[in-house]
Structure 1
Amino acid sequence: MGRPREFDRDQALLYAIQLFWKKGYAATSTEDLLQVMGIKRQSLYNAFGDKRQLYLEALGTYLHNATSAHLMRLNTPSSPLEGIRNLLIGLSPQDQSPRPPGCMGVGSVGEFGTSDAQIGEMMAKVSRLLTERVALRIKEGQTCGEIDSTIDPNQAAGFVHMAVNGLLVAARAGAGSSELETLAGFAVDRLRK
């Protein structure tokens, strides 16, 4: 029988997510991970496997949490246009939390591009889910008269998804909350009737 873990696995994973989000995969060393997670090398391997397996778990957890938050902001208001606005505005940090700017998922695309099929599939799945849900909200908005009925819902959803990614990159590049909110408002106004 193995020794029990001497650390909180979920908390250690959260620290790894924060570090990968801030630095990316290549710039994060195993030593960096051990230090921030507060664990020994063997504990890392026993609990998470190697650095790549830890990254995939960290990215998967991040994407799940981020997508859940995106969908909640999108789906909560009865107004489809307000839901889309909330989705975009919510990408801008509303507090002074120490989280890294931008998105770990967008960072992974920037770092790996199409060279890693497993990461590509993770990102494609999230993209499809979000874009499909935005398209449904656009159709709802067209039905209730909030959104221009002459635009194609799927193309408009692609536009909103592009705006999401653009806002996340702008945040990573240092854009402030006010600038991001202005850009989000401009994108939403393109959908209005």
Structure 2
Amino acid sequence: MLTAARARFWRDGYAATSVQDLTDATGLGTQSLYGAFGNKHDLFIRILDDYCTNQYAGLEAAITADPSPWHGLTSAVTFEDDGRLDLPPQGCLLANSAAALSTQDEQVRTRSCQIYSETLALFARQIAQAQQSGEIDTGIDPEQTARALIAVMQGIEFLHKSGIGEDELHLAKAAALQLIERSVAR
């Protein structure tokens, strides 16, 4: 039920998804939907929270499972490594929601800022581990580098969603990775 509602919000966006769309997608009646979730906004926030929790857990697991802290991190940032961190065609539900709603919805803005902070801390930890293992320069600031990597990751997602084509996307990712590698080289 939540999966069907999430798919509808993800495909159409919050504003374009009506309660009727949600009842059609979930098979619930309007009263059952309201009884279970309160209202459309509460359902959306529940879905967004679940999505963020699952995405962060998956990101952390994928990054930390790699024996190389730096490779695990760059694979995540560029959505590489055999699709382990696959980027769906519709992009990230959180990024889409933040772009559309964060200026008018405090709960979306708060969740966006929270996941940014968590991702920043995760990336900074990975960078520090990569420094300790001798993979990258120990003179770079892990937190500043983490901020740059998040910006690169979001830029790659934007390019993916823009429809530039796989060849150009691959070139953009390779160029970003080359600049990153040069800036952190020992």
TM-score (norm 1): 0.83
Deviation at 1:91, TM superposition (A): 7.2
Deviation at 1:169, TM superposition (A): 2.0
Q: 1:152 to 1:78 in 2, by over 3 A?
A: same
Stretches of 4+ moved more than 4 A in 1?
175-182
Deviation at 1:156, TM superposition (A): 0.5
Partner in structure 1 of residue 137 of structure 2: 148
Q: 1:127 to 1:22 in 2, by over 3 A?
A: same
Partner in structure 2 of residue 101 of structure 1: 90
Query: What is the alpha-carbon distance in structure 1 between the residues aligned to residue 95 and residue 147 of structure 2?
Result: 16
In 2, are the aligned partners of 1:76 and 1:83 still within 8 Å (CA)? Answer: yes
Identity %: 29
In 2, are the aligned partners of 1:92 and 1:181 still within 8 Å (CA)? Answer: no
Which structure 1 residue ranges, 5 or more long, are not aligned? 1-11
Moved more, 141-150 or 45-54: 141-150
In 1, are the aligned partners of 2:75 and 2:81 still within 8 Å (CA)? Answer: no
Alignment coverage as a number of residue pairs: 180
Q: 2:138 is paired with a residue of what secondary structure? A: coil
| Cα shift readout 1:70-120 (whole Å, capped 9, x = no counterpart) | 11121111211111122124379949x9x5521110011111133222111
Partner in structure 2 of residue 50 of structure 1: 39
- The answer to whether the aligner puts 1:77 opposite 2:59 as a matched pair is no
Query: What is the alpha-carbon distance in structure 1 between the residues aligned to residue 140 and residue 176 of structure 2?
Result: 14
In 2, are the aligned partners of 1:92 and 1:180 still within 8 Å (CA)? Answer: no
Query: What is the alpha-carbon distance in structure 1 between the residues aligned to residue 30 and residue 82 of structure 2?
Result: 34
- The answer to whether the aligner puts 1:174 opposite 2:174 as a matched pair is no
Q: 1:106 to 1:53 in 2, by over 3 A?
A: same
Deviation at 1:154, TM superposition (A): 0.9
- Superposition RMSD in Å: 2.4
Which structure 2 residue ranges, 5 or more long, are not aligned? none
Q: 1:139 is paired with a residue of what secondary structure? A: helix
In 1, are the aligned partners of 2:33 and 2:39 still within 8 Å (CA)? Answer: yes
- Aligned residue identity for 1:36: A
Deviation at 1:145, TM superposition (A): 2.0
Deviation at 1:178, TM superposition (A): 5.3
* Higher relative contact order, structure no. (Cα contacts within 8 Å, ≥ 6 residues apart): 1
TM-score (norm 2): 0.85
- The answer to whether the aligner puts 1:160 opposite 2:149 as a matched pair is yes
Partner in structure 2 of residue 38 of structure 1: 27
Deviation at 1:176, TM superposition (A): 4.7
